[in-house]
């Protein structure tokens, strides 16, 4: 009886080992909806690396500090699509001219399903000279949209933020909720690496 159980275990282990498929790896710009579940969209050309770091700029009297970090093999679970991707995640602090913090995401921890306050890279364009990001918006998804960062030189990038429209009512957003967009809604804003 022990021999039969032992042989069954060995057969199961061998079958499991040979039936496992390796994770499929694709370039960053691959459409996640067109790959197998659990595929990996990898930064094969190191397109994200230039943008990693702390960047500082100002707009309408506000100081904006962006902290961009590279996250390798981050899990995304979007509707029926589950995949892994190398991304740039941006957290930020926005202060007014008197130094009062208007918005700060530096110490926030983001879960896989959370979009609020997140800024995640989607893909690189122009041979890695610019990155397109998705911004999840703030309270009630106000301000969700796209951000584009473009290399100017070795220490500067330009910023373009295009928020999408959203219709709010008391059912979607309770009265008294802060629905200000603090990120600079502009094009060609210069940030300098710190």
Mean pLDDT value across residues 101-114: 82
Distance (Å, rounded) from C-alpha 172 to C-alpha 190? 35
- pLDDT at position 2, please? 59
Q: Give 38-72 as a DSSP string.
A: T-EEE-TT--SGGG-EEEEEEETTEEEEEEEEEEE
Mean pLDDT of the chain: 88
- pLDDT at position 19, please? 46
In the block, tokens 């928020």 appear at 163
Q: What is the DSSP letter of 97?
A: T
pLDDT tens for residues 52-72? 999 999 999 999 999 999 999
- pLDDT at position 114, please? 62
- pLDDT at position 11, please? 54
* Cβ atoms of residues 52 and 72 within 8 Å: no
How many CB atoms neighbour CB 161 within 10 A? 21
Distance (Å, rounded) from C-alpha 10 to C-alpha 33? 37
Distance (Å, rounded) from C-alpha 124 to C-alpha 148? 10
Helix locations, the chain, DSSP H? 2-19
pLDDT tens for residues 138-189? 888 899 999 999 999 999 999 999 999 878 888 888 999 989 999 999 999 9
pLDDT tens for residues 8-24? 555 545 444 444 568 89
pLDDT band at 113; cut points 50, 70, 90? low
Distance (Å, rounded) from C-alpha 88 to C-alpha 43? 10
In the block, tokens 């008197």 appear at 98
Which is higher by pLDDT, 92 or 128?
Answer: 92
Q: Which residues pair with 75 in a beta bridge?
A: 84
- pLDDT at position 156, please? 98
Q: What is the DSSP letter of 10?
A: H
Distance (Å, rounded) from C-alpha 186 to C-alpha 147? 10
Look up the pTM and report it.
0.82
Q: Strands 145-153 and 130-135: what pairing?
A: antiparallel
List the one residue out of 66, 47, 63 whose CA is nearest residue 55.
66
User: Domains along the chain?
Assistant: 23-193 (2.40.128)
Mean pLDDT value across residues 37-43: 96
């Amino acid at each position: 009886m022990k021999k039969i159980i032992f042989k069954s275990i060995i057969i199961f282990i061998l079958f499991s080992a040979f039936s496992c498929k390796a994770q499929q790896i694709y370039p960053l710009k691959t459409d996640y909806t067109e790959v197998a579940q659990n595929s990996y969209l990898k930064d094969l050309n190191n397109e994200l690396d230039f943008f990693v770091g702390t960047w500082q700029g100002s707009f309408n009297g506000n100081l904006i500090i962006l902290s961009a970090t590279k996250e390798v093999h981050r899990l995304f679970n979007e509707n029926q699509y589950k995949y892994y991707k190398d991304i740039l995640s941006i957290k930020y602090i926005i202060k007014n001219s008197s130094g009062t913090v208007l918005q700060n995401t530096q110490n926030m921890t983001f879960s896989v399903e959370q979009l609020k306050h997140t800024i995640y890279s989607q893909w690189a364009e122009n041979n890695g000279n610019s990155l397109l990001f998705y911004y999840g918006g703030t309270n009630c998804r106000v301000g969700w949209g796209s951000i584009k960062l473009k290399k100017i030189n070795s220490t500067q990038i330009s910023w373009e933020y295009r928020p999408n429209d959203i219709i709010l009512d008391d059912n979607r957003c309770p009265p008294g909720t802060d629905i200000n967009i603090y990120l600079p809604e502009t094009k060609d804003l210069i940030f300098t690496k710190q």
